[in-house]
Amino acid sequence: MENEHRRFMAMALKEAMTAFRRDEVPVGAVIVKGGTVIAKAHNQIEMLQDPTAHAEILAIGAAANHLGSRRLDGCTLYVTLEPCPMCAGALVLSRLDRVVFGSYDPKMGACSTLYNIAQDERLNHRVEVIAGVMDAEAGSLLKEFFAKKREE
């Protein structure tokens, strides 16, 4: 299973690289069902001038469109950065089975670091969380992006 997680996280990292090249915070997401990628996205907040255009939200929308259903039962989201509260809420609402993320987010993380919305027992659905997959690769991309921004 670890090899499969790394394979799909590598795809999410490619999406993050696309965001990086477009001067967006480099976060990428891939949604998989039955071993097949059904959606992928990267942050597009600046391009769309939309504060909700996070990679996770865009990928969830694409997956729902692909399946013709708002429920993403049987799906796994691979994302390079721990989801924020908005995105963690979307994971629960879409009924994803699991989220696999790369880097922990000490400022906005809502799947283990600051909050754990994905597994909050008070909610009607819980999402399995697998953390730290390819953390070094995802983290170095974010560090490079923000170092570049500080230089500008």
CA distances to 7, 35, 37, 80 from 17, in Å: 16, 23, 18, 11
Catalytic residue among 2, 15, 46, 56: 56
User: Is 46 a residue of the active site?
Assistant: no
CA distances to 32, 54, 72, 88, 125 from 120, in Å: 23, 22, 19, 11, 8
Closest of 92, 94, 95, 83 to residue 119, by C-alpha: 92
Q: Give catalytic residue positions.
A: 56
